[in-house]
Copies of this chain bind each other. A is one copy, B any other.
Amino acid sequence: MRAVQDSMDVLSGKWKIAILSSICYYNKRRFSDILHDVEGISNKMLSKELKELEINKLVNRSVMDTQPITVQYELTEHGRTLQTIINHLTAWGIEHRKKIIGE
């Protein structure tokens, strides 16, 4: 029971899963790309959430020395262990939508 909470603490917030999905799908993804992928998120939130994901070792941030700067985010090995869960959540979301809308 405690363990589930631990997971949810890490994944809490409106955007974390969506952000992870975006990075996961593209393997590597830049800040502005994620900003575009995740509909409705503001740059402030994205930056905040990414920071938290980094702290929890789920994503890796690497600054490319270009002009202007670009920053790449990718899942860590640990982050990649979430893929199964994300896939399940996606599938479940689709089913759930059917269930609820269709009444």
Interface residues of A (CB under 8 A from B): 1-8, 10, 12, 14, 17-18, 21-22, 25, 37-39, 56-57, 78, 81-82, 84-86, 88-97, 99-100
Contacts and interface: CB of A to CB of B under 8 A. Distances in A.
Contact of A96 (B6, B88, B91, B94): B6
Given A88-B84, A92-B82, A8 B14 contact: yes
B78 A8 contact: no
A2 B96 CA distance: 12
Copies of the polypeptide in the assembly: 2
Most buried by B among A6, A18, A94, A95: A6
Given A8-B18, A22-B1, A100-B56, A88 B90 contact: no
